[in-house]
Amino acid sequence: MEYFPAPLEKLVEQFASLPGIGGKSAQRLAFHVLSLSDAEAEAFAGAILEAKRTVTCCPVCQNLTAGGLCPICASSKRDGETVCVVADPRDVAAMERAREYTGRYHVLHGVISPMNHVGPDDLELKSLVERVARGEVREVIMATNPDTEGEATAMYTARLLKPFGVKVTRLAYGIPVGGHLEFADDATLMRALEGRREI
């Protein structure tokens, strides 16, 4: 016995297939969609198709863009000699929010992860090497996450780029601003000590 009409069940299933959405939430979301006006439901469905259809990767930095060069690669105000390498487009957004970085980016779309069968060839490393080989880039800042896989990816990429005579740096490790020494883990404290600076 089905409890909801088939089209509603189908919508619940669609929502339930999204990451982090359980059965009960999926039901709530599907009922919410039914309560929308026709125009609102069409706007929602349209946004899905539109995003899927128009959002592509920037041919230079592989960041997401709505066709053509991304705004950062297209901007003449950004310093083309510095490239910040991140794993994910969301990391670009995080860096941009800090309003400190004025260079350009390169998005790898993943990290090297043998456990998940992701090797160097699955990442946007070839396009990064080509970019560096062209000779404009002076410094590559590796801004992958400070975990094992991000670390391995940073090391691998650095080795790959060294032959081109480019400077490869890594984001600083340390106590997060506003954090408590008391709650910092050993590895972070050790790195914070190693990276200490004169004041």
Residues that bind its own copies (CB under 8 A): 1-8, 10-11, 13-14, 18-21, 25, 27-34, 36, 38, 41-55, 64-66, 70-71, 89-90, 92-93, 96-97
Least Å from the CB of residue 5 to its own copies: 4
Least Å from the CB of residue 103 to its own copies: 14
- The smaller minimum CB distance to its own copies, of residues 46 and 195, is found at 46
- The smaller minimum CB distance to its own copies, of residues 109 and 138, is found at 109
- The smaller minimum CB distance to its own copies, of residues 51 and 187, is found at 51
Q: Would you say 140 and 166 are in contact if contact means Cβ atoms under 8 Å apart?
A: yes
84 sits in which H/E element: strand 79-86
Angle, helices 6-16 vs 23-35, to 10°: value is 120
- The smaller minimum CB distance to its own copies, of residues 33 and 189, is found at 33
Burial of 183 (0-12, 13-18, 19+ CB in 10 A): exposed
Angle subtended at Cα 109 by Cα 63 and Cα 47, rounded to the nearest 5 degrees: 60
